[in-house]
Structure 1
Amino acid sequence: MKKQTLALLTCAALTFPVVSFADEVEHFEGKQSATLEAAVANFSEYNKKLETILKGELTPEAMNEVHQLTYTLENALGKINEEFDGLAVTLEEIHLASERADTEGVASNGEAYLETSRTVIE
């Protein structure tokens, strides 16, 4: 499941189109995602905004809205990817500890893993 989620998030990051507006494009900060919780919330909220825009006509105003919201999506996705990279390491520690019958390693890494993973999936 983790690999599927990470693969989907990575694919999403790679599918953002490069849009050429004019000679000058204004750049925005986007909403920051300081924590995984914030990143998941921003990712969900701004994906819904993008979905709504895509259901309508892609006017110049709509393109500007898409341009602006992608900054927040990129910030959120960056934080999610960062956290999931660490989650993959923790899961490998659980795997290795289970092979050694290291109950302490499984328990401590397992709790850390579940704490992070529950932020994304119940």
Structure 2
Amino acid sequence: MKFLPLVVALALIPATVAFADEKRPDHFEGEASPTLDAAIENLSVYNAKLQAIIGKSNLTATDMAEIHQLTYTIEVALARLNEEVETMQEQVEVVHLSSERMEFDQVQETGTNYLENIAKIAPPKQ
């Protein structure tokens, strides 16, 4: 009989979770970021929207709903950015190893691709 309260509590967990899900706001699909350029554009636009909302002195429930919706696009864009940065890391490794092996063409080709993409998020200093 000592375990009866525990059994009852465990039995109620699925019902509690289902009820909690019903109370969650509707979910949205963020705007796609199919390329690095699209991801950067979406981050620029949606970060500005986020900044405008959170910069208010008092946030409202409507503000929170807007934040909830726009963060989907930010998350999608950041995921794309992460994928692109991983590719750039791989390219730098290829350039590194190719430079050790004196593979001139590989260094130029892969290095050029890397530099074109990295300049989009970290422009070279002039």
Superposition TM-score tier, normalisation by shorter sequence: 0.7 to 0.9
SS at match of 2:121: coil
Q: Which amino acid aligns with 2:49?
A: K
Tell me the matched-pair count.
102
Q: Once superposed, which parts of structure 1, at least 4 consecutive aligned residues long, lie more than 3 Å away?
A: none
Q: 2:91 maps to which residue?
A: 90
User: Which blocks of at least 5 consecutive residues in structure 1 are unaligned?
Assistant: 1-19
Cα distance in 2 for residues equivalent to 1:28 and 1:78: 16
Ranked by relative contact order (alpha carbons within 8 Å, sequence separation 6 or more), the top structure is 1
Superposed displacement of residue 58, structure 1: 1.6
Q: Which has the higher helix share?
A: 2
More moved, 75-84 vs 99-108: 99-108
| Alignment map for 1:7-26 (pairs within 5 Å) | 23-26=23-26
Letter in 2 for 1:76: A
Query: How far does residue 119 in structure 1 lie from its aligned partner after superposition?
Result: 2.3
Cα distance in 1, alignment partners of residues 24 and 107 from structure 2: 53
Give the 5 Å matches for 1:37-116.
Answer: 37-56=37-56, 57-116=58-117
* Counterpart position of 1:28: 28
- Please list every run of 5 or more consecutive structure 2 residues that lacks an aligned counterpart in the other structure: 1-19
Could you tell me the percent identity over the aligned residues? 42
What amino acid does structure 1 have at the position aligned with 2:113?
A
CA distance in 2, matches of 1:79, 1:89: 16
Q: TM-score, normalised by structure 1?
A: 0.78
Separation (CA, whole Å) in 2 of partners of 1:98 and 1:51: 43
Aligned equivalents of 1:59, 1:49: Cα separation in 2: 15
Q: Deviations over 1:37-96 (max 9, x none)?
A: 010000011111111111112211110010000000011001111111111000110011
Residue aligned with 1:114, SS: helix
